[in-house]
Amino acid sequence: MIRIQDLTHISDTEWEIPQSFRPDMRVPVRIFATRELLEQVMQDKSLEQAVNSATLPGLVGRALVMPDMHQGYGFPIGGVAATVFPQGVVSPGGIGYDINCGVRLLASGVELDAARPHLDELATRLDQACPSGVGTEGVVRLTVPELERLLREGSRWALRNGYGAERDLLRTEEGGCLEGADPGKVSERAKGRGCQQIGSVGAGNHFVEVDVVETIFDPGAARAMDLREGCLALQIHCGSRGLGHQVCTDYVQSFQAAVQRYGIQLPDRELVCAPMDSPEGAAYLGAMRAAANFAFANRQVLAHSARGAFEQTFAGIVKDWRLTQVYDIAHNMGKLETHTIDGERLKVCVHRKGATRAFGPGAPGLPPEYEAIGQPVLVPGSMGTASWVLVGTEESMARTFGSTCHGAGRTMSRARAKHEVRGDALRQELEGRGIRVRAGSMAGLAEEAPQAYKDVDRVVETVCRAGIVGKVARLRPVAVVKG
Secondary structure (3-state) at 55: coil
d(CA 340, CA 267): 29
Among 66, 287, 412, 468, binds other proteins (CB under 8 A): 412
| Residue 187 binding other proteins, by CB under 8 A | no
Among 87, 215, 256, 428, binds other proteins (CB under 8 A): 256
| Residue 72 binding other proteins, by CB under 8 A | yes
Closer by beta carbon to other proteins, 97 or else 370: 97
Q: In the stretch 117-146, what mask flags binding to other proteins with x, by CB under 8 A?
A: -----------------xx-----------
- Amino acid (one-letter) located at 346: L
- How many residues touch other proteins under the rule CB under 8 A: the total is 46
| Residue 428 binding other proteins, by CB under 8 A | no
Q: What is the CA radius of gyration of the chain?
A: 21
Stretch that binds other proteins, among 71-79, 299-307, 333-341, 374-382 (CB under 8 A): 71-79
Q: Is 285 exposed, middle or buried (0-12, 13-18, 19+ CB in 10 A)?
A: buried
247: Cβ contacts below 8 Å, ≥ 6 apart: 92, 99, 186, 187, 190, 240, 287, 288, 290, 291
Among 19, 21, 42, 73, binds other proteins (CB under 8 A): 73
CB of 242 to other proteins, least distance (A): 5
Q: Are 193 and 144 in contact (CB under 8 A)?
A: no
Angle at 451 between CA 448 and CA 457, to 5 degrees: 100
| Residue 257 binding other proteins, by CB under 8 A | yes
| Residue 220 binding other proteins, by CB under 8 A | no
CB of 91 to other proteins, least distance (A): 12
Q: Report cis status (omega within 30 of 0) of the bond before 86.
A: yes
d(CA 101, CA 195): 18
- Is residue 406 annotated as part of the catalytic site, yes or no? yes
CB of 203 to other proteins, least distance (A): 5
- Amino acid (one-letter) located at 325: Q
| Reduced DSSP (H G I as helix, E B as strand, rest coil) percent helix, strand, coil of the chain, to 5 | 40, 30, 35
Residue whose C-alpha is closest to residue 450's, from 390, 356, 389, 387: 387
- Amino acid (one-letter) located at 134: V
Stretch that binds other proteins, among 187-195, 207-215, 228-236, 308-316 (CB under 8 A): 187-195
Among 94, 138, 183, 202, binds other proteins (CB under 8 A): 202
Give alpha helix (H) positions in 24-97. Answer: 35-41, 46-53
Among 28, 57, 74, 138, binds other proteins (CB under 8 A): 74
CB of 186 to other proteins, least distance (A): 15
| Residue 262 binding other proteins, by CB under 8 A | no
| Residue 22 binding other proteins, by CB under 8 A | no
Closer by beta carbon to other proteins, 90 or else 105: 90
| Residue 319 binding other proteins, by CB under 8 A | no
Among 204, 402, 407, 450, binds other proteins (CB under 8 A): 204
What are the DSSP calls for 398-444, one per residue?
HHSSSEE--S--B-S-HHHHHHH--HHHHHHHHHHTT-EEEES-HHH
Residue 42 is given by DSSP the state: T
Closer by beta carbon to other proteins, 65 or else 210: 65
| Residue 252 binding other proteins, by CB under 8 A | yes
Q: Are 151 and 186 in contact (CB under 8 A)?
A: yes
Closer by beta carbon to other proteins, 300 or else 411: 411
Q: Count other C-beta atoms under 10 Å from residue 461's C-beta.
A: 17
Sign of the torsion formed by the C-alpha atoms of 416, 421, 423 and 429: negative
| Residue 334 binding other proteins, by CB under 8 A | no
Stretch that binds other proteins, among 106-114, 199-207, 212-220, 385-393 (CB under 8 A): 199-207
| Residue 427 binding other proteins, by CB under 8 A | no
| Residue 372 binding other proteins, by CB under 8 A | no
d(CA 118, CA 348): 48
What is the binding site for other proteins (CB under 8 A)? 44, 46, 70-74, 77, 93, 96-98, 134-135, 189, 192-193, 196, 202-204, 242, 245-246, 248-249, 252-253, 256-257, 260, 268-270, 272, 410-416, 441, 443-444, 483
**Catalytic residue positions?**
406
